Amino acid sequence: MNIDQMVDQLKNNRDFMANVTHWEEIQPKEASYGPFPDSLSPELIRVLADKGISRLYSHQAKAIELAGRGKNLVVVTPTASGKTLCYNLPVVNTILNNDDARALYLFPTKALSQDQVSELHEMLSRLDHPIKSYTYDGDTPVTARKAIRQAGHIVVTNPDMLHSGIMPHHTKWVKLFENLKYVVIDEIHTYRGVFGSHMANVIRRLKRICSFYGSNPQFICCSATIANPKELTERIIGQETELVDESGAPSGRKHLVFYNPPLVNRQLGIRKSSTLESRKLASSFLQNGIQTIVFARSRLLVEVLVTYLKQLVRDKLGKSNSVRGYRGGYLPNQRREIERGLRDGSIMGVISTNALELGIDIGHLQTCIMCGYPGTIASSWQQAGRAGRRQETAIAIMVASSNPLDQYIIQHPEYFLKASPEMGLINPNNLYILMSHIKCAAFELPFEDGEDFGVDSLQGILEYLEEEKVLRHVGSRWHWMTDAFPANAVSLRSAADENFIIIDITFAKHRVIGELDRFAAPMFLHEEAIYIHEGDQYQVEKLDFEEKKAYVRRVDVDYYTDANLAVNLKVLEVFDSQSDDRIGKGWGEVMVTALVTMFKKIKFDSHENLGWGQVRLPELDMHTTAYWLTLEQERPFGINSQDDLQNALVGIANVLGQIAPIYLMCDPKDINVIYQVKSPFTQKPTIFIYDSSPGGVGFSEKLFNIHLDLFEKAYEIIDRCSCDAGCPSCVGPAAEVSQQGKELALKVLGGILNDIQPQGQAEDNLLKLPFK
């Protein structure tokens, strides 16, 4: 069967269609073209012709035209619409006209930069003029580095290397910085949250260095579809940017199918496993020789699916190498080989984490299966975009898991299809992040009095650093005066170095089986805790808090442990608040403290308490920002007992924690929800949603603005859930929230929403551009 027959067959399969909540057919689109700009060198036009490109898509032509007029721009078009030409052409064209000109390419990962370099090389090798491009990253041999600094026209690297390997040594890169004409930032949508806030500061530093050497580069950026690509780009580069978002690339017919695995236990809300359903679907496509990509949400799931599918394929085709996994942790060579195999068709199926969501060139596949909602609308479109050829039909199937977010999406496909994708939020002025980069910047070049670094508070921070004896103010300059190399102390990728690693010591050869963030560690990794990993039980033997290591050993016991975490949240400063007689909202700076004091041993099945133990671990505290909602009435919405109120709040908090990421385009781990039946600050029942990263990256302000949208969605999810008294897809299992949990949560949510219209226009003042 070919792809069209497969699609028809699915459409006619009654069992399958019974679980399909929506089938969207996207019509094919003709290409639209634009002329070669006059400025484009004949040599380049010849090279394009050699590659079979005789005209440009309209978005490419527009990008090149804008770049030619000296504008910064961000290109937002679908996967594989020829985005790279949008920057490669202006860059190469400029170098052809001026051999001294230089360009810097920034990719979020090493794998991507290598991919792009090989494509770029291919184009450069067809030119008569020698234009050199090099990758400069941690893997670049020391011996090659000098040549790259001197002679590379195009230097390809990642933000981390720019931050700690290039800018602190800018005097070795004089040629690059003096002549820097273009900075290319690909996949700019990946720079959001903490990473994006760092990135904006890295760019501030880059621009400072450029201006020291007398250059003023233009920025060409590319982004996947997000709600605010222009604003995000402008916040990152700190300059006005033109948006190019009308794709001229053609596309074939595409089917987008929402599939909800059937319920196996309605009362408890348990559905068939999304993994097994994805496996079933994938194998039917693979057996028909249709090239298929499956996206799974964890590395472990990738491996499980690979094992399943290899088995299947081996039986039918006699070999199993046509199905491969792809995820972080594979060696670069192996990944290159898989990418090649996908392009040339020797690999029929690939199971990947979101690693393949980014612009790595794997050609065009015919089928995409998403095992679980990818977490954001934007990544769903990106993953679905992996299936799609110019002429042929493609199909993308989203298979929902039972968590609330998945269930909401799968039951509200209209929401998914109509909603604009998520926003990329960053907060470059997060004090932690800002201060780290001000240190790095001062190390690179002393600050001059009156410099601003894009923030009002620079002077205050410089003075503070002088008091701390990090800087010295002499004459009109602030000099770095300590012995340290500040970039080494700053990791751009959130707080990865703060994670605890989990080491299995069952066998003589110890191995790391996982990691857990600093705040979760006391809960799950205290000594004697039973830690469950990939379905196996481990007991924590030793927690080395200083070294951030937990040593665990395999055990087989009939109980689990549940630690008692006391989270305390103190409001330090209110940035904004509003209230009426019913509810109130606010956001501001908070101090969160977490202390684990004891744990219980609880028997499986019977849930009887087998005993308890003490935990002696230090209290963790964190400054961050939070959004909160208060219930203003004495007995809110007719709920009379404290217990009932508590059960209602537990359920609401559970749902909010799951769905807030949809609005924030963040990982569920990036935020936390807690409730206080009587908050010491507001003196009322209060739900707080706070940023998991110190200082916050802007989620709270956004939540303050969208406010009731979130509660409306929570209401809908609980209301429409088919379970009786709570399940993992809504408020949580009834055992946790009591038999009335669902009802109570709905009562409170109904009260919150009553008579109050969602406020939409508040979003307008959300993004204040730094240069205005």
Helix (H, G, I), strand (E, B) or coil at 478: strand
Determine, following the binding rule CB under 8 A, whether residue 623 of this chain makes contact with other proteins: yes
Determine, following the binding rule CB under 8 A, whether residue 547 of this chain makes contact with other proteins: no
**Whose Cβ is closer to other proteins: residue 345's or residue 460's?**
460
Site string for other proteins, 499-538 (x = CB under 8 A): ----------------------------------------
Distance CA 666, CA 195 (A): 11
Identify the H or E element spanning 645.
helix 642-664
**Whose Cβ is closer to other proteins: residue 129's or residue 146's?**
146
Contacts of residue 581, Cβ cutoff 8 Å, sequence gap at least 6: 632, 633
Determine, following the binding rule CB under 8 A, whether residue 214 of this chain makes contact with other proteins: no
Report the chain's terminal Cα–Cα distance, integer Å. 58
- Closest listed residue to residue 368, CA positions, set 390, 381, 386: 386
Determine, following the binding rule CB under 8 A, whether residue 175 of this chain makes contact with other proteins: no
- Closest listed residue to residue 39, CA positions, set 59, 66, 15, 19: 66
Distance CA 162, CA 169 (A): 10
**Whose Cβ is closer to other proteins: residue 268's or residue 591's?**
591
Count of helix runs (H) and strand runs (E) in the chain: 25, 32
- Closest listed residue to residue 770, CA positions, set 311, 535, 516, 456: 456
Distance in Å, CB of 216 to other proteins, minimum: 18
Burial class of residue 631, CB neighbours in 10 A (0-12, 13-18, 19+): buried
**Whose Cβ is closer to other proteins: residue 21's or residue 482's?**
482
Helix (H, G, I), strand (E, B) or coil at 613: strand
Determine, following the binding rule CB under 8 A, whether residue 472 of this chain makes contact with other proteins: yes
Q: C-alpha 569: how far from its chain's center?
A: 26
Q: Which of 29, 272, 477, 747 binds other proteins (CB under 8 A)?
A: 477
Reported residue count of the chain is: 772
Distance in Å, CB of 208 to other proteins, minimum: 12
Reading the block at residue 325, the tokens are: 């996994």
Distance in Å, CB of 442 to other proteins, minimum: 7
Distance CA 151, CA 663 (A): 46
**Whose Cβ is closer to other proteins: residue 428's or residue 636's?**
428
Distance in Å, CB of 467 to other proteins, minimum: 5
**Whose Cβ is closer to other proteins: residue 85's or residue 571's?**
571
Determine, following the binding rule CB under 8 A, whether residue 172 of this chain makes contact with other proteins: yes
Span 426-455, contacts to other proteins by CB under 8 A: 431-432, 435, 442-446
Q: Which of 480, 524, 538, 715 binds other proteins (CB under 8 A)?
A: 480
Distance in Å, CB of 177 to other proteins, minimum: 10
Q: Which of 467, 556, 634, 764 binds other proteins (CB under 8 A)?
A: 467
Distance in Å, CB of 170 to other proteins, minimum: 6
Q: Which of 13, 171, 311, 754 binds other proteins (CB under 8 A)?
A: 171
Determine, following the binding rule CB under 8 A, whether residue 457 of this chain makes contact with other proteins: yes
Site string for other proteins, 390-429 (x = CB under 8 A): ----------------------------------------
Distance in Å, CB of 425 to other proteins, minimum: 20
Determine, following the binding rule CB under 8 A, whether residue 496 of this chain makes contact with other proteins: no
Distance in Å, CB of 679 to other proteins, minimum: 22
Distance in Å, CB of 439 to other proteins, minimum: 9
One-letter identity of residue 361: D
Q: Which of 4, 452, 463, 724 binds other proteins (CB under 8 A)?
A: 463
Q: Which of 636, 695, 726, 732 binds other proteins (CB under 8 A)?
A: 695
Residue in the structure block whose two tokens are 């007992």: 641
Distance in Å, CB of 450 to other proteins, minimum: 16
CB 255 within 8 Å of CB 329: no
Distance in Å, CB of 660 to other proteins, minimum: 24
Distance in Å, CB of 539 to other proteins, minimum: 32
Strands (E), 646-685: 671-676
Reading the block at residue 423, the tokens are: 């926003």
- Closest listed residue to residue 746, CA positions, set 715, 707, 711: 715
Determine, following the binding rule CB under 8 A, whether residue 683 of this chain makes contact with other proteins: no
**Whose Cβ is closer to other proteins: residue 433's or residue 516's?**
433
Q: Which of 449, 468, 580, 619 binds other proteins (CB under 8 A)?
A: 468
Distance CA 160, CA 497 (A): 14
Distance in Å, CB of 469 to other proteins, minimum: 6
Distance CA 542, CA 544 (A): 6
In the sheet that holds 447-448, the strands lie side by side as 447-448, 477-480, 471-474
Using CB under 8 A, count the residues that bind other proteins.
41
Distance in Å, CB of 590 to other proteins, minimum: 12
Query: Alpha helices of 502-641 — where are they, by DSSP H?
Result: 521-524
Distance in Å, CB of 103 to other proteins, minimum: 21
Reading the block at residue 511, the tokens are: 């191995």
The one segment of 343-351, 461-469, 507-515, 643-651 that binds other proteins by CB under 8 A: 461-469
Residue 502 pairs with which residues in a beta bridge? 514, 550
**Whose Cβ is closer to other proteins: residue 483's or residue 634's?**
483
- Closest listed residue to residue 356, CA positions, set 290, 403, 421, 292: 292
Q: Which of 11, 129, 169, 669 binds other proteins (CB under 8 A)?
A: 169
Distance CA 44, CA 96 (A): 9
The one segment of 414-422, 478-486, 512-520, 675-683 that binds other proteins by CB under 8 A: 478-486
Determine, following the binding rule CB under 8 A, whether residue 138 of this chain makes contact with other proteins: no
> What count of other Cβ atoms lies within 10 Å of the Cβ of residue 652?
27
The one segment of 88-96, 363-371, 485-493, 537-545 that binds other proteins by CB under 8 A: 485-493
**Whose Cβ is closer to other proteins: residue 206's or residue 513's?**
206
Span 20-39, contacts to other proteins by CB under 8 A: none
Q: Which of 127, 270, 317, 481 binds other proteins (CB under 8 A)?
A: 481
Determine, following the binding rule CB under 8 A, whether residue 461 of this chain makes contact with other proteins: yes
Span 359-388, contacts to other proteins by CB under 8 A: none
Identify the H or E element spanning 548.
none
Determine, following the binding rule CB under 8 A, whether residue 588 of this chain makes contact with other proteins: no
Q: Which of 484, 512, 762, 769 binds other proteins (CB under 8 A)?
A: 484
Determine, following the binding rule CB under 8 A, whether residue 479 of this chain makes contact with other proteins: yes
DSSP 562: E
Distances in Å between the Cα of 227 and the Cα atoms of 70, 422, 598, 708 are: 25, 5, 44, 20
Distance in Å, CB of 376 to other proteins, minimum: 29
- Closest listed residue to residue 437, CA positions, set 183, 207, 139, 669: 207
CB 302 within 8 Å of CB 329: no
Reading the block at residue 242, the tokens are: 């033109």
Contacts of residue 57, Cβ cutoff 8 Å, sequence gap at least 6: 31, 32, 33, 34, 81, 82, 247, 248, 249
DSSP string covering 724-746, please?
A: SS--TTTT--HHHH-TTHHHHHH
Reading the block at residue 657, the tokens are: 């924690």
Determine, following the binding rule CB under 8 A, whether residue 460 of this chain makes contact with other proteins: yes
Give contact residues for other proteins (rule: CB under 8 A). 168-172, 174, 431-432, 435, 442-446, 457, 459-461, 463-464, 466-469, 472-475, 477, 479-487, 623, 694-695
